Amino acid sequence: MLDRHSFRGIYVIVVTPFTASHELDEPALRRTMEFCLAAGVHGVVANALASEGFYLSEAERRRAAEIVVGAAAGKVPSIIAVSAPHASLAVHHARHAESIGADAIMALPPLLHPASVNEIKAYYREISAATSLPLVLQNALVPGATTMSAALIAELVHELPNARFVKEESGYPAQTVGDIIRLAGHRLEGVMGGKAGKTFMEELRHGVSGTMPACEIADVHVALWNAIEAGDHQKARGIFQRLLPLLDLEASYGMPLMKEVLHMRGVIGSTAVRQTGFRALDQAAREEALTIMDDLAEFMLPAYAHRR
């Protein structure tokens, strides 16, 4: 179960692999978890945005959670994203997460349509009351989710006994992190950044306890964190600067880029995605991704070297 000591470092969002016919690929999901653990991540998150969680059936969502929690057990904390359009659905996901031994749950505000402050409070109260697991409040600037103010997040942290953690990735995430920490005070046990880690270095100046990127370059993110923890600021800055071009490609191509990279690294067999709204990589984009990865190779696990 999470506490302020364990909610630190690189918590990766585990990508959900599909077969070429868009079925849940359980063996590839297990291989993805093997890669994440070998990379030295400090925690894992299932069924979140970068997991294509909202593109999974109810049965698939439960199964993916079970595989991730089972693989992480005894190694690193596991968080299950339970976000949903209504609290009754999120509660269902939260109870399942607790029943399978997850260490925490994470939830965006109610999805699909804008939610009022009172609706957001009621939603989180129901989730909080349904489980004894720690609750990570996720604040993101994404379609269908209402962005919360730092003041509202702090209010929820003070009110709800298990809402002690935050993932912040709204419009100005680094400054918002600072506002949340200042307003929430000692009740808050940790804030992590998101946005693939693109604003991580600025967020560190405001007190984040880590970041939650997608998992395709987990080993590079861990190398960055290790340099930060060692106080080697020059090395950390160098890794970050070399990592940024790939994160920029991820911002452009989204899920297709994440899965292309995992495929290039031999982790998954298919690059099939269910998420809509992004273009597939063409050969030029693949070559650019490979060139960037060449520059990051020294921070990557040799067993997962990318293939040209």
pLDDT digits (tens, 9 = 90+) for 224-264: 999 999 999 999 999 999 999 999 999 999 999 999 999 99
Per-residue confidence at 1, pLDDT binned at 50, 70, 90? confident
Quote the radius of gyration of the chain (alpha carbons, Å).
Answer: 18
pTM above 0.85, yes or no: yes
Q: pLDDT, tens digit, for every residue of 149-204?
A: 999 999 999 999 999 999 999 999 999 999 999 999 999 999 999 999 999 999 99
Q: What is the DSSP string of 18-45?
A: B-TTS-B-HHHHHHHHHHHHHTT-SEEE
Question: What pLDDT, in 10s, does the model give residues 258-300?
Answer: 999 999 999 999 999 999 999 999 999 999 999 999 999 999 9
Cα distance between residue 192 and residue 173, in whole Å: 10
Cβ proximity of 44 and 15 under 8 Å: no
- What is the structure's pLDDT at 143? 84
Distance of alpha carbon 43 from alpha carbon 21, whole angstroms = 30
Query: Pick from 13, 31, 17: which is nearest to 218 by CA?
Result: 13
What is the residue-averaged pLDDT of the chain?
97
Quote the pLDDT of residue 206. Answer: 97
Alpha-carbon distance of 217 to 267, in angstroms, equals: 11
Is residue 308's pLDDT more than 90? Answer: no
Q: Could you give the CA distance from residue 235 to residue 228 in angstroms, rounded to a whole number?
A: 8
Would you say 194 and 173 are in contact if contact means Cβ atoms under 8 Å apart?
A: yes
- Specify the pLDDT at position 272: 97
